[in-house]
Structure 1
Amino acid sequence: MGRDELCITVPSLFRCPISLDVMNSPVSLCTGVTYDRSSIQHWLDSGHDTCPATMQVLSSKDFVPNLTLRRLINLWTSTAAAAPTKSSALSPAVSEEKVRIWIGEIKSGKFERSLDSIVQLVSCGEANRRFLVSIDGFLAAIVGVLSTNCVQTRVLESVIRILSSSLVENGVNEKVHKLVFISNANCLPSFVSVLRNGSLESKMACIAVLESIAINNESKRFVTEVENLLPVVIHLIKTEDDDQGLHDVVLSFLISLSVTRSIKTQLVQLGLVEVLSNMLSSQNAAVSVVEKSLKMLSMICTCADGRSAISVDLKCAGAIVERLMKVSKTATEDAVVVLWSMCCLFRDEKVLEKVVRSNGVTKVLLVMQSEVGEGNMRRICGDLIKILRLRCKNGGGFGGVGSYETKTTHILPC
């Protein structure tokens, strides 16, 4: 296929690595690779204990639904359904001249028809995206729409979909970053508009775009200072409490933003600890959401407001204890760090009491005796057991756990 012609193809991300077909029910293994459920289930049922793509031995054969990818596939399917495919007929050739006509229309304010054509193309093939983003002025015209006053939400959603699809191409992140944060800083309120009024898929794409282009501390700070952006994001996960895909995307975004004490404090003041506590307490929470909640708490507990909020929300400490040894090694370490910070470093009496009453001693001992409890983590667990033992003695009984003397002085709050 020539550089100046485009046709609709299936994005490789949507194909199962085993069957090579579009995935109906994408699920992710502990290695992070995603497969169609039926294909990977057949692989595992056949006696294999490795990841087919990487050949790594699996520490767990459990898999987690990849809800974000499933939504993207469904969105692509609905868009591509109305377009010709290779199984029927190729889409009409699109030349660079035609794309430049679209760019001119966009710049002159004739958005909808040209954007609809571009959305269809970028959603349906890698070659299409590479061709479009290589044309000088294409990305600038697309980002420029976000800076235009009184643009309908539907138009903004089209722009977000184009950007979210294009960002997978090499170098596009950096180009869009410069366009948004240097040339078109006044376009950021349009992201807020989509987060408020767009479809759920558009909201998720919007957050993914923001995370992808906020690639340094300055741009992360810029994002957090956009009026109402963080409050709208936190409101989303408070109101859409059953959508695990949205929760996963939002938590990734917030984790990437939390680089300074002031940002963490702002998130805490918006009620993030209560949200995280509810996620950890939910029996329906996806594993990835639970693990990112624990990561977020390990970051929040390094600021005074964060520790105060964890102390007030006692359900949070109990939920952290409950999740010990039920998540990945990294997430278990995050959970232990939160407990150590609250109980050992800052001696929070309320949290200490809650951890003891939640059978925390037994859980921490299990961590200490597992592969997680190695090196520094073993010393942290020892600190926790020591202080929980003292608390239990003061409360009238401990259950026979001996003393663990440690001198843990690493891990200090920022």
Structure 2
Amino acid sequence: MGPTAAQEKEEEEEKETEMSGGAGGAVAETLLQVVAEVSALPESRGPLRQMCCDLARRVKLLAPLFDELRDDAVSLGPAELRGLESLYAALAGAKETLRSVNDGSRLYQVLRPQKFQRLFLKATESIEEALGEISLDKLNVSDEVKEQIELLHAQLHRAKESMDLRDLQLSRDLNRALNEGHCDPTILKRISEKLQLKNKNDIMKESVALHEMVISSVGEPDVSVEEMSSLLKKLKDCSLLEDPTSASIERKTSFAKHRSPVIPDDFRCPLSLELMKDPVIVSTGQTYERSYIQKWLDSGHKTCPKTQQYLSHTAVTPNFVLKSLIAQWCDANGIELPKTQGGHQDRKPANNSDISRDGINILLQKLANGNQEAQRAAAGELRLLAKRNADNRISIAEAGAIPLLKQLLSSPDPRTQEHAVTALLNLSINSDNKGIIVKEKAIPEIVKVLESESMEARENAAATLFSLSTVDQNKALIGEAGAIPALISLLCQGSPRGKKDAATAIFNLCLYPGNKVVALQAGIVVHLMTMLDDPGASLVDEALAVLAILASIQEGKVAIAHSDPTPVLLKLMKTGSAQVRENAAALLFSLCSGVEENLEAAKEGGAEEVLKELVETGTERAKRKAGSLLGLICQAAEASVSDSAKT
């Protein structure tokens, strides 16, 4: 006799709940990661400091909610998951707003207050609306957390109505400073105080931010760059008057300019023998000043002036590394940075890419048809270009580089293989490129690189798989390609950086339930426990995080219990950092929930004393976990007494 309709419905609901629970844990982890990233941002010191502090503080207030949801994700239904996904999008937007303000020009922020008011308003509205989609009554969280979220929701609503970035005094001061040739130093000092541009270092950062804003603008910026540069110079002069030390440094720098230090040979153009202003690389790998090598090529020469080798093509590629070194040397020696002359300018083209489509196509031809040396050089160029900025990543992918780089993952030359996998890593920062990489079936080839001889290639392959695994549907594909055993091997044998890359990738992959079983079958628990028991290990946090993910399934609890984890976890709860103590308590609670043998082992190992101390001195989450585990121990003791009485 088959199952009834009611039984089938019940089974379907159980299955949906189980799936929601797995997804819920992943969403909660992702949300906590965003909160951590917001917390890690430096505190804003500019004119929008209060707005940034308020927004960051409100984001951080959500952490206890995500903590509790991560610990009990099974209670999340599809509707709650959708609400949390909306909240993730809102928090990611808020993080981007805070980051752009921290990295941006302070002068621009005060000259365009309405623009930034709209940014903060949008971030605040998005979080408020996302919280409104979540029914707190349907979440299995404490009353304390519910109260906190309700208060936060009300704060966000009020914040929308009271958002105003205008500072009338500052506006008047800026107007006078911009329009008066010789501005009153008192006014400039007030502006410096408000914008926190008080010393040479602050002025330098503002100059860099202003420059980045200009070169990344599509078309002309919506402010006068000349006016902003002029104002910045006035503020710099004012800061030097206020700071005699800086003024002294300026005088020394001025003196240094007249000493004419010896220019390093590598910084001289082989043709002009002068300091290079705009170094570029030709196909033989030699570097020249752009204007001089261009004249050489325009005259019909087809060879490299220095080596006399025949040039396979006449395209030149900017040598960004050397240009940066020249800039650092000039700064250290008090020499004004050389300015490029002629038609070529430092400013990026309209699409903000560092290289033209023709230049990219030439590199791709070398990937496809060049000899081993040419392929290695071209892959290295693409690796650097893809690292530099978002527009390069788009241009390189659109030109068709990904299939060619995928082919080079199986190159017999270790350096070419390393360049290819690192170029794919840099390209994968773009979400669309992730899809292209997967569509080209590059994942199995990346996994093979994990087993190569080059440690750097293995590390970057692990980082690439982590990048791709941030898309949920890729987690299963990466697991099926055999990545987890190879990552475990790197976790055991790699350099400190390689081990960290491997642990991070494994953690992310194990958010998919099927990969947890694969990791357990590959024997990961033994290696993770070894890391916990190693006094010199630097990956205790990562090992605890992966173990906590594995402990969310029954097979994981059993495997971890067989390794006798209680003594190690109790030791960590006594001597570890606040974060380690918290995570160790959470893991031990997970292991003991519903498993009498583990609970008995914890009690016999002296857990009660350690847990009582943690309740007094731990973080909020550590206190909750320690208190809950003490409750389980007390319940077990009461049940034992009751059973004895009945006997």
Shorter-normalised TM range: 0.5 to 0.7
Q: Which 5+ residue runs of structure 2 have no aligned equivalent?
A: 1-38, 43-52, 57-264, 281-315, 318-354, 641-647
Counterpart of 1:260 in structure 2 is 512
Question: In the aligned structure 2, how far is the partner of 1:115 from the partner of 1:153?
Answer: 8
Asked if 1:203 is matched to 2:203, the reply is no
How has the CA–CA distance of structure 1 residues 88 and 258 changed in structure 2, closer, same or farther, with 3 Å as cutoff? farther
Counterpart of 2:341 in structure 1 is none
Counterpart of 2:531 in structure 1 is 279
Tell me how far 1:244 sits from its aligned partner. 2.7
Once the two structures are superposed, the pairs formed by residues 181-330 of structure 1 within 5 Å of their partners are 181-182=438-439, 184-185=440-441, 187-226=442-481, 228-240=482-494, 243-286=495-538, 289-314=539-564, 316-324=565-573, 326-327=575-576, 329-330=578-579
3-state SS of 2:488 partner = helix
Higher helix share: 2
Question: In the aligned structure 1, how far is the partner of 2:360 from the partner of 2:268?
Answer: 21
- Which of 603, 617, 626 is the aligned partner of 1:381? 626
Contact 1:320 1:335 in 2 (8 A): yes
3-state SS of 1:196 partner = coil
Question: In the aligned structure 1, how far is the partner of 2:394 from the partner of 2:445?
Answer: 25
Counterpart of 1:175 in structure 2 is 432
Tell me how far 1:304 sits from its aligned partner. 1.4
Contact 2:386 2:396 in 1 (8 A): no
Question: In the aligned structure 2, how far is the partner of 1:299 from the partner of 1:260?
Answer: 10
Tell me how far 1:278 sits from its aligned partner. 0.4
How has the CA–CA distance of structure 1 residues 332 and 150 changed in structure 2, closer, same or farther, with 3 Å as cutoff? closer
Query: Which letter maps to 1:266?
Result: V
Report the structure number with the largest CA radius of gyration: 2
Between the two structures, name the one with larger relative contact order (CA 8 Å, sep ≥ 6). 1
Question: In the aligned structure 2, how far is the partner of 1:345 from the partner of 1:85?
Answer: 72
- Deviation digits for residues 363-412 of structure 1 (CA, Å, limit 9, x no counterpart): 211221125246xx6454233224446778999xxxxxxxxxxxxxxxxx
Counterpart of 1:367 in structure 2 is 614
Question: In the aligned structure 2, how far is the partner of 1:150 from the partner of 1:218?
Answer: 25
TM-score, with length taken from structure 1: 0.63
Contact 1:367 1:373 in 2 (8 A): no
Question: In the aligned structure 2, how far is the partner of 1:140 from the partner of 1:125?
Answer: 13
Tell me how far 1:331 sits from its aligned partner. 4.3
3-state SS of 2:537 partner = coil
Question: In the aligned structure 2, how far is the partner of 1:167 from the partner of 1:203?
Answer: 16
Query: Which letter maps to 2:626?
Result: C
Query: Which letter maps to 2:360?
Result: V
Q: Percent identity?
A: 16
Once the two structures are superposed, the pairs formed by residues 111-190 of structure 1 within 5 Å of their partners are 112-120=373-381, 122-123=383-384, 127=388, 129-130=389-390, 132-135=392-395, 137=397, 140-147=400-407, 151-154=411-414, 155-167=416-428, 172=430, 174-182=431-439, 184-185=440-441, 187-190=442-445
Once the two structures are superposed, the pairs formed by residues 28-177 of structure 1 within 5 Å of their partners are 32=40, 89=276, 90-92=278-280, 93-94=316-317, 96=356, 97-108=358-369, 110=371, 112-120=373-381, 122-123=383-384, 127=388, 129-130=389-390, 132-135=392-395, 137=397, 140-147=400-407, 151-154=411-414, 155-167=416-428, 172=430, 174-177=431-434
- Deviation digits for residues 7-47 of structure 1 (CA, Å, limit 9, x no counterpart): xxxxxxxxxxxxxxxxxxxxxxxx7579xxxxxxxxxxxxx
Counterpart of 2:113 in structure 1 is none
Question: In the aligned structure 1, how far is the partner of 2:399 from the partner of 2:537?
Answer: 37
3-state SS of 1:291 partner = helix
Aligned Cα root-mean-square deviation (Å)? 3.8
How has the CA–CA distance of structure 1 residues 84 and 328 changed in structure 2, closer, same or farther, with 3 Å as cutoff? farther
Aligned length in residues = 307
Question: In the aligned structure 2, how far is the partner of 1:335 from the partner of 1:116?
Answer: 47
Q: Which 5+ residue runs of structure 1 have no aligned equivalent?
A: 1-30, 35-53, 57-81, 396-414
Question: In the aligned structure 2, how far is the partner of 1:230 from the partner of 1:379?
Answer: 33
Query: Which letter maps to 1:238?
Result: C
Contact 1:192 1:232 in 2 (8 A): yes
- Deviation digits for residues 119-174 of structure 1 (CA, Å, limit 9, x no counterpart): 257448965x5564343556732443324695325222111122334455xxx2x1
